[in-house]
């Protein structure tokens, strides 16, 4: 009886562990942005929750946050923006761009919607262009070198 209980406990424990392990998956990218001729490099880290909601952040290499984002039901939100970027028109463009990016970044296929294009390069880079505002994003999956 004891052995059976122990076995059931162990089984439950293993199920719980595997549930938690699958709860969140994360993706890290080097992000290169070109905004009307100006170049910015950053890091973009995101987590995909079990309910497919995505949360993430864009920080510079020193760890200073530019903004956070979330994505659910096809819509992105941007928040916690660094003061000098925190303007309604910047939030609006980023919200639109990240809605498009996060809808398509996991598919592995090219995508087009109005003035926005996403291209998956053979080296794994994901290039996104917003032709209306001349903004280009390149997401390079970060290697997991030790």
Partner 1 sequence: MLLASMLSLHVWGQTKLTAQQQNQILEKIEKAASASTSMQCDFTQTKSMKLLSKEMQSKGMMYFKQPNKLRWQYTSPYDYTFIMNGDKVTMKSSKSTQNIDVQGNKIFRQITKIILNCITGGGLRSAADFQVEVYKSDNGYFAKLYPKKKELKQLYQVIEITFNQQLTMVSGVKMVEKTGDVTTVKLLNVKNNPSINESTFAVR
The site for partner 1 (CB under 8 A) is made up of 24, 26, 28, 30, 32, 39, 41, 43, 45, 47, 55-57, 59, 61-65, 68, 80, 82-84, 138, 140, 142-146
Rounded to a whole number of angstroms, the minimum distance from the CB of residue 114 to partner 1 is: 27
Q: How far is the CB of 3 from partner 1 (least distance, A)?
A: 36
| Geometric angle at alpha carbon 48, from 45 and 54, rounded to 5° | 75
Nearer to partner 1, 40 or 112 (CB): 40
**Closer residue to partner 1, CB minimum distance, 68 or 120:** 68
Shortest spacing between CB 138 and partner 1, in angstroms: 7
Evaluate whether 54 touches 75 at the Cβ level (below 8 Å). Answer: no
Nearest CB to partner 1, comparing residues 32 and 133: 32
Of 62 and 88, which has the nearer Cβ to partner 1? 62
CA dist., res. 83 & res. 134, Å (int): 23
DSSP letter at 132?
A: T
Please provide the DSSP assignment of 55-120 as one string: EEEEE-TTS-EEEEEEEETTEEEEES--GGG--HHHHHHHHHHHHHHHHHTTT-S-EEETTEEEEE
* Minimum distance, C-beta of residue 14 to partner 1, in the bound complex (Å): 21
């Amino acid at each position: 009886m004891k052995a059976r209980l122990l076995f059931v406990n162990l089984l439950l424990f293993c199920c719980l562990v595997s549930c938690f392990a699958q709860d969140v998956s994360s993706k890290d990218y080097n992000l290169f942005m070109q905004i009307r001729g100006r170049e910015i490099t950053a890091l973009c880290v995101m987590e995909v929750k079990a309910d497919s909601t995505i949360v993430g952040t864009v920080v510079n290499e020193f760890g200073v946050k530019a903004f956070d984002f979330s994505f659910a039901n096809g819509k992105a939100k941007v928040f916690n923006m660094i003061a000098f970027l925190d303007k309604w028109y910047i939030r609006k463009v980023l919200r639109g761009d990240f809605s498009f990016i996060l809808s398509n970044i996991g598919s592995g296929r090219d995508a087009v919607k109005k003035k926005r294009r996403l291209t998956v390069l053979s080296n794994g880079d994901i290039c996104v262009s917003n032709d209306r505002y001349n903004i280009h994003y390149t997401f390079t999956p970060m290697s997991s070198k030790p």
